[in-house]
Each structure stands twice: as C-alpha cells, then as structure tokens.
C-alpha cells in the first residue's frame, strides 16, 4: 500500500471506477457466472449507503459497502480490492473505516461469506464478527454461506 492511498467515503464521482473493480472481483468468485452489480446500483449505493473507497490520485483501488436493513442493522455486503493492490492491507483498512463508522452510529452489522473463502472469514473474524451461522443454500441450492454478525463497539 502506497503512503498516498486515501481511505474515505466514496463520492458520486467514484461510482464508475468502483463498479469496474466490482466486475473484476466478481469474475474471481467461485460462482462468478452470475451477474455482478452494475453501474446503476453503485450510483445509488455511493449516494445512499455507506461506501468507502481506497484511492490513489482519484483512482479507486478498492471499496467496501454496507447498507441499512429494516431490522436496524447494516449489511456489510462487499469488499474488494484491485488485484495489483491486494495483500497490502487495503481490504483490512477499508473494513476498519466502515466498521468505525458503524460503531459511531451505534449499529450492529452482518455479512455473508462463502464457507470456502477462509481468507475473508479470517479477515471478518479478526475485525470482530463473532457470531457465525451456517446457512445451506443461502442463494442457490449449491451456494451455502456463513452469516457473520458483529455487535457495534461502544465508545470508550
């Protein structure tokens, strides 16, 4: 990670580059044959959800999103990093920025993870997601998920 990398709330002007990174990351998924989210949804998410971006010179290197649910919790829906910027802490820093904001807001969050994605499970567990529930056929009959839950941290 370069020292000039900024971690900040995404702006509307960022949504196209974030959507482009999402398409790259989606193809690498175990079930990547299904359609990724398009530019239209990223335009809405950047304005109406919590989206943080890692950027260098206005180029997005990664993003993370959480959106509010009717239960009062937030769903941490995605985190992805440009392949050339992986393994340098960008994904962790993005998640920390998002979770810091959720802690300030005083809300719990949850996410879903492919049980085969041990790296992402370990990342989330290290960030305070403690409750883990296995759900068979979460999306499709062959797409199981862990639902991981994190309780917000109260300000000290």
Predicted structure pTM score? 0.89
**Cα Rg, the chain, nearest whole Å:** 15
Tell me the two tokens of residue 41. Answer: 């949804």
- Cα–Cα dist 121/147, whole Å: 10
Q: Across all residues in the chain, what is the average pLDDT?
A: 90
* pLDDT < 50: residue spans in the chain: none
Q: What is the pLDDT of residues 131-140, one digit of tens each?
A: 999 999 998 8
pLDDT of residue 64: 96
In sequence order, the 6+-apart residues with CB closer than 8 A to the CB of 10 are 18, 46, 51, 52, 53, 60, 63
- Cα–Cα dist 68/37, whole Å: 17
Closest to 41 in 3D by CA, of 61, 7, 18, 10: 18
Q: From the options 3.40.630.30, 3.30.365.10, 3.10.20.310, 1.10.3720.10, give the CATH code of 6-150.
A: 3.40.630.30
């Amino acid at each position: 990670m370069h020292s000039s990398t900024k971690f900040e709330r995404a702006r509307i002007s960022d949504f196209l580059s974030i959507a482009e990174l999402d398409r790259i990351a989606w193809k690498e998924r175990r079930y990547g044959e299904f359609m990724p989210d398009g530019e239209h949804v990223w335009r809405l998410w950047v304005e109406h959800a919590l989206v943080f971006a890692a950027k260098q010179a206005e180029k997005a290197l990664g993003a993370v999103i959480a959106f509010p649910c009717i239960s009062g919790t937030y769903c941490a829906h995605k985190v992805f990093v440009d392949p050339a910027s992986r393994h340098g802490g960008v994904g962790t820093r993005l998640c920390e920025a998002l979770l810091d904001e959720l802690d300030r807001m005083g809300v719990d969050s949850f996410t879903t993870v492919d049980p085969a994605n041990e790296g992402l499970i370990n990342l989330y567990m290290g960030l305070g997601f403690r409750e883990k529930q296995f759900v068979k056929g979460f999306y499709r009959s062959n797409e199981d998920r862990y639902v991981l839950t994190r309780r917000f941290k109260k300000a000290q």
